[in-house]
Structure 1
Amino acid sequence: MTTTWVPVPDGSPFPIQNLPYGVFTPKSGGAPRVGVAIGEQVLDLAAALGDDVFARGSLNAFMAQGRTRWQRVRAETTRLLADEAHRAAVEPHLYAQADVTLGMPFEPGDYVDFYASEHHASNIGRMFRPDGDPLTPQWKHLPIGYHGRAGTLVPSGTPVVRPRGQQRPAEAGGLPGFGPSTRLDIEAEVGFVVGTPSELGRPVSADDFREHVFGVTLVNDWSARDIQNWEYVPLGPFLGKSFATSVSPWVVPLDALEAARVAPPAREHEPRPYLAEKEDWGLDLTLEVRLNGHLVATPPFATMYWTPAQMLAHMTVNGASLRTGDFYASGTVSGPEADQRGSFMELSWGGAEPFALPDGTKRTFLEDGDEVTITATAPGADGVTIGFGAVTGRVLPAVDA
Structure 2
Amino acid sequence: MKRLLRVGVSIACALVLAACGGGGGGGSATKTVEPVFAGVAPLSAPTNAPTGFGPTPTAAANVLPVVVDRGIRGTAFNAPFVTVTVCVPGGTCADIDHVIVDTASAGLRLNASALPATLALPEAATTDGSAAAQCMKFLGGFTWGSVRRADVQLAGQRIASMPVHVMADTDARFATIPSGCSSAGANLANRLDAKGILGVGMSRQDCGSSCVTSAAPAMYYGCGASGCAPATVPLASQVTNPVTLLAAHNNGVALMLQQVPQGGAATVGGALVLGIGTDANNQLGSARLLAPDRSGQVSVTLKGRSLPAYIDSGSNALLFPDTELPKCGELFCPAQPTALDVRLRSPAGVEQAMSFTVESAPTWGAAAATIAAPWENETLWGLPFFFGRTVFVAIKDAPTPAGNGPFWAF
Q: Give the TM-score normalised by structure 2.
A: 0.25
Task: Give the helix-richer structure, 1 or 2.
Answer: 1
Greater Cα radius of gyration, structure 1 or 2: 1
